[in-house]
């Protein structure tokens, strides 16, 4: 019986040691290698002084070594924090300040960012450094190198962790400008993985995609779902995301049996006509999660790939990977038809409630809440934020257990299925990335070249998801164009948070009570986008 995430790999190393566990380009790792290398790493971490519950940040690319790193950290009873290595340094520094890692693990692709991020830290604050596949690193704090891994003890260290202990912290966009860390326990992940493995029937003959980056919670299902099933995990190269032809060749050439991604990757492939009729003969199932898959994309895919099962998974990071599912029974005929987010996965409950936390009638819109096994422990060291959305059991309110307020709007249909209706706050999804518009505004205001600015999201219906639109008022006399702002903001924000549309104002439109009129701004951007698309077509 598996209780900790790392037990899956240990079990597979016993039953199929020579089977391939992970493939990334020319790099491959068997289950025996994964087990032994992660044992060695765990022993090195413990020898370096890492203790139970210590955070270890991973500055690594999506390779087999990264999966070794995750397992090594968990086997040392520590908590891993995957860092987005494409993020600008100041954002990574905020994450380091927040989680105070005992050690960071670095590979070649993370060296520059790691060095820059540590450069502002005092010696006492600075974590230790260990390298994985990196020739050169980061000053004097390096306590072990890749070569030390070869000499470390291969036997598993004794583990003290319990299933309720944290396994990883995933930092996601924060509305006040500081990323917030969602603390995920071993049992959160094991619960979903066991459900998913059984529901989808994943087994040792499966070849599973590893599409999202490691700091996305969806990646944990690819990795641990595949390992738990003794399957082969095929890491999708990041550059394929921009090249739909490459993405579909990857599915074909790797003979994938399971594809799981955010909808934007699917819409991009559909739009660029890179999928033939009856293409991907090995593929059995296609799963998406993270945002609405436009129904025209679904129709395109279902018409071309009639041999595949299509499943919509829904859920926030805070409830671990997904909380509900809907396997589409037949190809929709109407491109306007809305695809439900379905029913709760075993062990999870979805509720649609009103402002008083009372259930609304079937068919009525309300706020979507989730309870159950997937509920994250908390936001890392942020009691206020945790209390605001993780509501504790309260008899008076009729809450028998802890529930999470998703911020999503939904209704439950007469058929019992849940349907997603959008957000009730300023969180958006753009190309699958979860973004708080407040984080972008905070960065824009920090540039010191704008008198005023507002960032709004405008749905595009296309692969971009929601377009990030920035309305700005330049500081008097400053020669500020959208290019100047974009270029300066790229030092503070990841690329995917940079606004794609801009409008310059002398003053932003206001509502009757003097607030920025965001509704009006959205309309203005939508009109501009509409005019643009008419000019193009």
Residues of this chain that interact with ligand AMP (CB under 6 A) are 172, 217, 289-292, 312-317, 341, 406, 408, 420, 423, 429, 434
Q: 9 vs 293, which CB is nearer to ligand AMP?
A: 293
| Beta strands, E only, 273-332 | 285-289, 309-314, 324-327
Report, in Å, the least distance between residue 122 CB and ligand AMP: 33
Report, in Å, the least distance between residue 124 CB and ligand AMP: 34
Report, in Å, the least distance between residue 262 CB and ligand AMP: 9
Report, in Å, the least distance between residue 48 CB and ligand AMP: 32
CA-CA distance, 374 to 372, in Å (whole number)?
6
- Taking CA atoms, 503 is separated from 426, 441, 537, in Å, by 19, 14, 22
Q: Which two tokens stand for residue 461?
A: 């219906």
Report, in Å, the least distance between residue 51 CB and ligand AMP: 30
Q: 166 vs 230, which CB is nearer to ligand AMP?
A: 166
CA-CA distance, 497 to 410, in Å (whole number)?
26
Q: 63 vs 430, which CB is nearer to ligand AMP?
A: 430
Report, in Å, the least distance between residue 379 CB and ligand AMP: 12
Cα first-last separation, the chain: 58
Q: 290 vs 374, which CB is nearer to ligand AMP?
A: 290
The overall longest dimension of the chain from CA atoms, in Å, is 70
The 3-state DSSP class for residue 293 equals coil
Report, in Å, the least distance between residue 46 CB and ligand AMP: 32
The 3-state DSSP class for residue 406 equals strand
CA-CA distance, 173 to 427, in Å (whole number)?
9
- Cα pseudo-dihedral 274, 279, 280, 282, rounded to 10: 180
| Nearest alpha-carbon partner for 126 in 109, 143, 112 | 143
Q: 374 vs 474, which CB is nearer to ligand AMP?
A: 374
Q: Which two tokens stand for residue 521?
A: 């701004």
Report, in Å, the least distance between residue 420 CB and ligand AMP: 4
Instruction: Return contacts of 279-283, CB within 8 angstroms, 24+ apart.
Output: 279/248, 279/252, 279/304, 279/305, 280/248, 280/251, 280/252, 280/256, 280/305, 280/308, 281/307, 282/207, 282/255, 282/256, 282/257, 283/251, 283/256, 283/257, 283/258, 283/259, 283/307, 283/308
Q: 379 vs 472, which CB is nearer to ligand AMP?
A: 379
Report, in Å, the least distance between residue 457 CB and ligand AMP: 12
Q: 292 vs 470, which CB is nearer to ligand AMP?
A: 292
| Nearest alpha-carbon partner for 135 in 169, 112, 104 | 112
């Amino acid at each position: 019986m598996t209780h900790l995430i790392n037990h899956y790999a240990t079990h597979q190393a016993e039953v199929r040691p020579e089977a391939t566990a992970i493939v990334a380009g020319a790099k491959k790792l068997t289950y025996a290698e994964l087990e032994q290398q992660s044992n060695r790493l765990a022993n090195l971490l413990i020898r370096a002084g890492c203790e139970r519950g210590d955070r270890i940040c991973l500055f690594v690319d999506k390779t087999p070594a990264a999966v070794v790193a995750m397992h090594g950290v968990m086997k040392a009873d520590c908590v891993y924090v995957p860092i987005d290595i494409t993020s600008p340094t100041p954002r990574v520094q905020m994450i380091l300040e927040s989680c105070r890692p005992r050690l960071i693990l670095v590979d070649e692709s993370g060296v520059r960012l790691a060095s820059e991020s540590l450069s502002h830290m005092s010696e006492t604050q600075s974590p230790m450094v260990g390298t994985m596949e990196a020739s050169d690193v980061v000053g004097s704090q390096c306590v072990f190198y890749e070569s030390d891994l070869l000499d470390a003890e291969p036997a598993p260290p004794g583990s003290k962790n319990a299933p309720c202990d944290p396994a990883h912290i995933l930092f996601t966009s924060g509305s006040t400008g500081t990323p917030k860390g969602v603390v995920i326990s071993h049992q959160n992940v094991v619960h979903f993985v066991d459900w998913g493995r059984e529901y989808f029937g994943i087994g040792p003959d499966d070849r599973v995609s590893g599409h999202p980056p490691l700091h996305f919670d969806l990646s944990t299902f690819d990795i641990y779902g595949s390992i738990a099933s003794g399957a082969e995990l095929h890491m999708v190269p990041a550059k394929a995301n921009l090249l739909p032809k490459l993405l579909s060749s990857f599915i074909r050439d790797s003979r994938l049996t399971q594809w799981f991604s955010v909808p934007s990757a699917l819409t991009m492939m559909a739009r660029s006509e890179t999928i033939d009729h009856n293409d991907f003969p090995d593929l059995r199932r296609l799963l998406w999660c993270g945002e609405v898959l436009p129904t025209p994309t679904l129709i395109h895919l279902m018409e071309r790939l009639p041999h595949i099962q299509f499943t919509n998974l829904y859920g926030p990071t805070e409830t671990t990977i997904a909380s509900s599912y809907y396997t589409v029974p037949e190809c929709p005929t109407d491109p306007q038809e809305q695809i439900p987010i379905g029913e709760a996965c075993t062990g999870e409950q979805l509720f649609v409630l009103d402002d008083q936390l009372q259930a609304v009638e079937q068919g009525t819109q309300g706020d979507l809440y989730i309870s159950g096994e997937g509920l994250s422990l908390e936001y890392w060291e942020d009691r206020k934020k945790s209390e605001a959305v993780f509501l504790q059991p309260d008899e008076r309110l009729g809450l028998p257990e802890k529930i999470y307020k998703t911020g999503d709007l939904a209704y439950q249909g007469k058929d019992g299925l849940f349907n997603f209706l959008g957000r009730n706050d300023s969180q958006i999804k753009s190309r699958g990335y979860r973004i708080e518009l407040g984080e972008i505004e905070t960065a824009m205001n920090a540039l010191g070249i704008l008198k005023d600015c507002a960032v709004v999201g405008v749905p595009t219906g296309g692969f971009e998801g929601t377009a990030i639109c920035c309305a700005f008022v330049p500081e008097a006399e400053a020669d500020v164009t959208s290019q100047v702002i974009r270029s300066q903001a790229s030092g503070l924000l990841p690329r995917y948070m940079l606004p794609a549309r801009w409008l310059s104002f002398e003053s932003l439109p206001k509502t009757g009570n003097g607030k920025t009129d965001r509704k009006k701004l959205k309309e203005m951007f939508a009109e501009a986008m509409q005019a643009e698309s008419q000019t193009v077509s």
